[in-house]
Amino acid sequence: MLEIKNLNVSVENIKILNNFNLQIKEGEIHAIMGPNGTGKSTLSNVIMGNSRYKIDKGEIKYNGVKINNLSVDERARMGIFLSMQNPISIEGVQNSDFIRTAINAKEEEPVNLYEFMADMMRETEELKIPEEMIYRSLNVGASGGERKKNEVLQIKMLKPSFIILDELDSGLDIDSLKICCKNIKEYLKDHKDTSLLIITHYPRILEYIKPTFVHEMIDGTIVKTGGMSLALDLEKHGYNSK
């Protein structure tokens, strides 16, 4: 599904990713853990195509297609979804209008309004999001927890095939984290081919969504790969301890 080979990325001439390699197959759940500033969020932005990050070398393939030069929206329409660490708010862009526009951008036929609203109502209830948030401007006046839930709402509505969760657990209370993880797990259960890349500092989220592989990332590259035990080991002993 996702294949990253020898990826070198710089931001303002500072090298962030250094010969980074990663392969994620259909249905796999990968977690990347690492200290601050090691390039985890850079990785998620580069996969998504953020133009602030320059690929110096290497390639990213998604379902066999090299996506290095594709635009952000093209990658999203291929099925890649980035759940942001700090979801922004946009005054005046109504949440439901925005999500409907995003669905319509992906589909050949415009989504039926009645079915769309019924889906939105059901999913907001599942996520315990206040109903009025559907009609509010995107994330305006929303708490950190509501913003993260809104990201998960978008996952459920847009139905991506590859999801990056960039620090979903940051700024999220334990109850909201449980709700978000429960909804993501349900989504994965219904979409077995969907893969997940979890970027996190803490193993707590991995207790709710069990990873297939855990990677330790230091200085822009993966230095160790293991299972859940690696995540627990990293929490106990810190990064790059052995």
Q: Compare residues 51 and 229 and give the one whose CB is closer to another protein.
A: 51
Positions that interact with another protein (CB under 8 A): 48, 50, 52, 71-73, 76-77, 81-82, 84, 87-88, 90-93, 97-99, 101-102, 105-106, 137, 154, 158
Q: Compare residues 50 and 240 and give the one whose CB is closer to another protein.
A: 50
Q: How far is the CB of 143 from another protein (least distance, A)?
A: 18
**Residue 242 has which token pair?**
């052995």
Q: Compare residues 62 and 81 and give the one whose CB is closer to another protein.
A: 81
Q: Compare residues 88 and 174 and give the one whose CB is closer to another protein.
A: 88
Q: How far is the CB of 77 from another protein (least distance, A)?
A: 4
Alpha-carbon separation of residue 78 from 156, 159, 190, 225 (angstroms): 16, 11, 19, 28
Contacts for 124-129 with beta carbons within 8 Å, 24 or more apart? 124/153, 126/156, 126/183, 126/186, 127/152, 127/153, 127/156, 127/179, 127/180, 127/183, 128/179, 129/153
Q: Compare residues 55 and 72 and give the one whose CB is closer to another protein.
A: 72
Q: How far is the CB of 32 from another protein (least distance, A)?
A: 19
Q: How far is the CB of 173 from another protein (least distance, A)?
A: 23
Q: Are strands 221-226 and 213-218 parallel, antiparallel or unpaired?
A: antiparallel
**Location of structure tokens 């853990």:** 33
Residue 170 phi, psi dihedral angles, 5° rounding = -75, 135
DSSP string, 94-159: EHHHHHHHHHHHHSSSPPPHHHHHHHHHHHHHHTT--GGGGTSEETTT--HHHHHHHHHHHHHHH-
End-to-end CA distance of the chain: 31
DSSP state of 202: -
**Residue 12 has which token pair?**
């303002």
Q: How far is the CB of 105 from another protein (least distance, A)?
A: 5
Q: Compare residues 152 and 214 and give the one whose CB is closer to another protein.
A: 152
Cα 215 from chain centroid (whole Å): 16
Please tell me the number of Cα atoms within 13 Å of 127 on its side-chain side: 31
Q: How far is the CB of 202 from another protein (least distance, A)?
A: 24
Q: How far is the CB of 171 from another protein (least distance, A)?
A: 17
Q: Compare residues 149 and 221 and give the one whose CB is closer to another protein.
A: 149
